[in-house]
């Protein structure tokens, strides 16, 4: 298996980098193409023209996300068109040196992609950006109460738990979908799973995925700033994310109002208009490019990530911390123990408005404490993330290991194994097809 790689194929629910997993899927395709790999991208939506401009061959179904298409949820259980697309690509393009990397499937592609990928399962790698691989609602949490779920997926206790934020009928649909997924995925013989935080390993294992198949691989992070943000000079609370209930924008607004501190929200979502009317004192910037977000962060005092469900990683928290901006996040976020231990953040339940407001008020008046947290964030959190280039190197090493040309790279877990030297990029890699489905 010598010679230059022939192709890297990315399969994703979305070809537009609208958030988390989709941004990573698209970003991986772009960076792999920049390194000289021939890249193709299969998606559930209409292909983003920007992919073709980057030299990436894109194929898509032209479908919308499940909750946006206004039709039956049957396709969410088994999207026949998605299965046909993946099978067709494999039939027409597959070669023995092709590696398939699946990032997600819950928004459009459905569990049918596991069946479509069965013929190439021995060359499949999966990324776990959330818990849909193991949990019917994708979060191992009760959305009604905000409490973590202790149950094994599809156990009697799981089936009885009223955990879905859309009600009992939707929970039943999720259970059916997960049962179908388990049947075609076969977790006990799972391909390698790349988890974005080491703490995901025992949770994914509850679904029957062997622990030795789960490899921690932190996300690539580009900080808001390459120099330390002097947070002790800032005044505003900064929120960056979707303006919707799951991300807790309303919780941040309520706490900021109670604390009497200014707040700036970056992002858009279903709740933006309502919250803007309810909180006229807050600043809503809408969606902004990275440079503009960095400019706002440079004048902020603290970033809040008040998610109502356990964040497996929390990219925005690391973008802030690596730039020296202190972070307040919920105890359920998997990064919370890491940032607290580094002295870079506070873990506060965002549903407890009084406690959340008290934390904001305390930081608003304590410049010395904020300065110490800022310096700690800037200097002591480097081991919790990878640079984009380190991340691509690690992906390529995992692909090569799947093909038997290299051993799997050392575990890059956050925070147990801070990424130091960059893993060597495999030379002479064979054809690589990255299947990155959305979440």
Q: Domain coordinates of the chain in residue numbers?
A: 8-220+386-402, 231-384
Kindly report, residue by residue over 157-214, the tens digit of the pLDDT: 999 999 998 888 999 999 999 999 999 999 999 999 999 999 999 999 999 999 999 9
CATH architecture classification, 231-384? 3-Layer(aba) Sandwich (3.40)
Query: How would DSSP label each residue in 169-195?
Result: HHHHHHHHHHHHHHHHH-GGGPPPEEE
- In CATH, the number for domain 8-220+386-402 is 3.40.50.2000
Per-residue tens of pLDDT for the chain, all 439 residues: 333 346 778 888 999 987 778 989 999 999 999 998 888 899 999 999 999 999 998 999 999 988 655 456 788 999 999 999 999 999 999 988 888 989 889 999 999 999 999 999 998 999 999 999 999 999 998 988 888 899 999 999 999 999 998 888 999 999 999 999 999 999 999 999 999 999 999 999 999 999 999 999 999 999 999 999 999 999 999 999 999 998 999 999 999 999 999 999 999 999 999 999 999 999 999 999 999 999 999 999 999 999 988 899 999 999 999 999 999 999 999 999 999 999 999 999 999 999 999 999 999 999 999 999 999 999 999 999 999 999 999 998 998 888 886 666 654 443 333 333 333 333 334 454 554 443 3
- 7, 36 in Cβ contact below 8 A? no
- 98, 7 in Cβ contact below 8 A? yes
**Shared fold status for 8-220+386-402 and 231-384:** yes
The contacts of residue 182 (CB under 8 Å, 6+ apart) are 153, 154, 207, 208
The DSSP call for residue 9 is: E
What are the residue ranges of helices labelled H in 120-229?
A: 156-160, 168-185, 200-205
- 20, 315 in Cβ contact below 8 A? yes
Confidence (pTM) = 0.89
Which residues in 67-78 are b (16+ Cβ under 10 Å) and which e? eeeeeebebbbb
Measured CA to CA, the distance from residue 28 to residue 48 in angstroms comes to 15
Measured CA to CA, the distance from residue 174 to residue 179 in angstroms comes to 9
CA–centroid distance for 407 within its chain? 26
- 264, 296 in Cβ contact below 8 A? yes
Nearest Cα to Cα of residue 13 among 148, 130, 172: 130
Region for 278 from its dihedrals, namely left if φ exceeds 0, alpha if ψ lies in -120 to 50, beta otherwise: alpha
């Amino acid at each position: 298996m010598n010679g230059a790689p022939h192709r890297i194929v990315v399969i994703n629910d979305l070809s537009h980098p609208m958030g988390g997993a989709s941004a990573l899927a698209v970003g991986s395709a772009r960076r792999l193409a920049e390194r000289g790999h021939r890249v193709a991208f299969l998606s559930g939506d209409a292909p983003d023209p920007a992919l073709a401009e980057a030299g990436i061959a894109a194929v898509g179904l032209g479908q919308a996300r499940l909750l946006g298409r206004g039709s039956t949820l049957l396709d969410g259980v088994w999207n026949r068109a998605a299965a046909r697309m993946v099978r067709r690509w494999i039939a027409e393009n597959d070669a023995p040196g092709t590696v398939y990397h699946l990032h997600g499937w819950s928004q459009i592609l459905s569990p049918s992609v596991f069946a479509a990928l069965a013929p190439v399962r021995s060359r499949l790698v999966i990324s776990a950006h959330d818990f849909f691989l193991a949990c019917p609602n994708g979060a191992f949490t009760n959305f009604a109460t905000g409490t973590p779920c202790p149950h094994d997926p599809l156990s009697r206790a799981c089936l009885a738990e009223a955990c879905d934020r859309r009600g009992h009928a939707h929970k039943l649909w999720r259970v059916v979908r997960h049962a179908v997924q388990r049947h075609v995925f076969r977790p006990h013989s799972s391909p390698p799973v790349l988890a974005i935080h080491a703490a995901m390993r025992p949770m994914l294992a509850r679904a029957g995925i062997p622990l030795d198949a789960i490899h921690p691989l932190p996300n690539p992070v580009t900080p808001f700033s390459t120099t330390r943000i002097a947070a002790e000079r800032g005044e505003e609370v900064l929120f960056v994310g979707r303006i919707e209930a799951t991300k807790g924008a309303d919780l941040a607004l309520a706490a900021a109002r109670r604390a009497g501190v200014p707040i700036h929200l970056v992002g858009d979502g279903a709740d933006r208009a309502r919250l803007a009317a309810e909180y006229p004192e807050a600043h809503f910037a809408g969606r902004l490019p990275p440079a503009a977000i960095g400019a706002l962060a440079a004048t902020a005092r603290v970033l809040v990530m008040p998610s109502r469900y356990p964040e497996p990683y929390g990219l925005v928290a690391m973008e802030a911390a690596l730039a020296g901006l202190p972070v307040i996040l919920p105890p359920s976020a998997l990064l919370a123990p890491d940032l607290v231990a580094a002295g870079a953040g506070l873990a506060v339940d965002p549903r407890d408005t009084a406690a959340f407001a008290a934390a904001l008020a305390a930081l608003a008046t304590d410049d010395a404490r904020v300065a110490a947290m800022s310096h700690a964030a800037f200097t002591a959190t480097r081991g919790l993330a990878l640079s984009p280039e380190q991340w691509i190197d690690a992906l390529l090493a995992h692909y090569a290991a799947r093909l038997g040309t290299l051993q799997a790279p050392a575990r890059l877990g956050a925070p147990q194994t801070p990424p130091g030297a960059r893993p060597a990029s495999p030379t002479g890699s064979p054809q690589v097809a990255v299947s990155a489905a959305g979440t």
